[in-house]
Chain A
Amino acid sequence: MDQWVAAAGFVAVAIIVPVSMLVGAKLLAVTAKSSSKLKTMTYECGEEPEGGAWLQFHPRYYLVALIFVLFDIEAVFLFPWALAIEELGGLAIVDMLIFVLVLLLGWGYALRKGALKWQ
């Protein structure tokens, strides 16, 4: 528990660092007396922006996210197992091999279907 409290102390420093830099910038920054619309316009190569940027995007990103969730959960299962290999012995390794093989089957399916291809 002590170690977690110490980690919290470190995170406090990690908060102070960016905040102090922003405060320093706030103190030093110059602010123009007059503001123009052009200055705060969204950048689009000097042209007036054509519509907003909050658009729909390609579903391939969605596919990547799905496969990511799949394998990330697998990693969650692997971590406790990884720490107990010595205690659990050979059977646990065989079990995990089967689990990984099933996953790799899914991976192969996704590969054949072209889900991992970035067009």
Chain B
Amino acid sequence: MTPLMHGFVWGLVIATVLVTIAVLSIWFERKFSARMQSRLGPTLVGPAGILQLVADALKMMQKEDLIPEKADSILFRLAPPFTVLFTLSVAAVIPFSENVLAADLDIGVLFMLAVGGLVVFPVWIAGWSSNNKYALLGAMRAVAQGIAYEIPLVLSAMVPVVLAQSMRFSDIISVQAETHWFVIWPLGPGLIAFVIFFICSLAEANRIPFDIPEAESELVAGVTTEYAGMRFGLLQMAEYLHTLIASAVAAAIFFGGWDGPFAPGLHWMVLKTLALFFTIFWIRWSLVRFRSDQLMALCWKYLLPLSLLLVMVAALFVHYCGVGA
């Protein structure tokens, strides 16, 4: 099989599974949040309301494709597909097991950070081209928050890179499989780096407690205010995909990816990813929203110097103890 076909076929498989999980998670989140608030959630369509998804998707597709008169129509149309494109592209380098991976790039971690970082552009374009004050404010906040948290995200992702002395995802996982998961050992830097990475992923994906860009009590729906139908659906899907893929990345570089006893590697990777994904929902329905200034203070005053420090500590560890100590 040629490399292009390899990437394409695995891409079809991985993308289908990721999109399916992202869509199913919407039903799960509605059920789960309902349980947390002593409600029932969707019950009417299908058993336990699971066909609600199909109904919602069909409804979204049937909606008229509304373009506001004053919006910049070309940019307005283009922005939503690009959010999905950039978000989904990150999954190209994530290994779900030794064999289930589309492209084992030697600079995988850099690719993940670079392509993932591109998502702020379509989000900003979506907000700006709407020519709506709520959308513009939401986009400003999303960009400010996105680039602020990009730095601790990059630095905390660098800790496993330093510890494994490689940016290739499969190398990072093999080093962990031979020794310990980075979240456990070296004691301290790995765990703290994971916590920072997780917080920053939440902020990048605009999830509660960092959902200031779409704070519905002040900004209607933020960037998505003017969107309707499938374009709104794409923006929404990109958000869920983003959290899912961020969970997969965290599982790979901090929790040893496919490494685990008894079961095949793929099972472990999926289990770890879903556990982290579930944690994000759990956090979302447990916490309240941060204020803008608290959000910025947390990032610039604490996470940034802390993550810089962690990189240096990891470097010293590698220097004195060697890779895979």
What CA separation (Å) do A68 and B300 show in the bound complex? 10
Residues of B within 8 A of A57 (CB): 136, 140
| Distance of A30 from chain B, by nearest CB (Å) | 6
What CA separation (Å) do A57 and B148 show in the bound complex? 18
Pairwise interchain contact B312-A100, C-beta atoms closer than 8 A? yes
Residues of A within 8 A of B93 (CB): 7
What CA separation (Å) do A41 and B5 show in the bound complex? 46
What CA separation (Å) do A6 and B1 show in the bound complex? 11
Pairwise interchain contact B81-A22, C-beta atoms closer than 8 A? yes
User: How many chain A residues have a CB neighbour from B under 8 Å?
Assistant: 69
A109 within 8 A of B: no
Residues of A within 8 A of B85 (CB): 11, 14-15, 17-18
Residues of A within 8 A of B111 (CB): 7
What CA separation (Å) do A9 and B6 show in the bound complex? 7
Asked if A68 meets B150 with Cβ closer than 8 Å, knowing A14-B15, A78-B311, A100-B308, the reply is yes
User: How many chain B residues have a CB neighbour from A under 8 Å?
Assistant: 93
Out of B130, B136, B234, name the residue touching A22 (CB < 8 Å). Answer: B234
Pairwise interchain contact A64-B144, C-beta atoms closer than 8 A? yes
What CA separation (Å) do A52 and B89 show in the bound complex? 35
| Residues of A bordering B, CB below 8 Å | 2-15, 17-19, 21-22, 24-26, 28-32, 37, 39-45, 49, 52-55, 57, 61, 64-65, 67-68, 71-72, 75, 78-79, 82-83, 85-86, 89-90, 93, 96-97, 100, 103-104, 107, 111, 116-119
- Can you name 29 A-B pairs with beta carbons within 8 Å? A4-B103, A5-B3, A7-B103, A8-B7, A10-B10, A14-B11, A18-B81, A18-B84, A19-B81, A21-B234, A22-B81, A25-B65, A29-B64, A30-B64, A42-B131, A43-B220, A43-B225, A53-B130, A53-B131, A53-B132, A55-B136, A64-B148, A79-B161, A83-B165, A83-B167, A86-B319, A86-B323, A103-B308, A111-B301
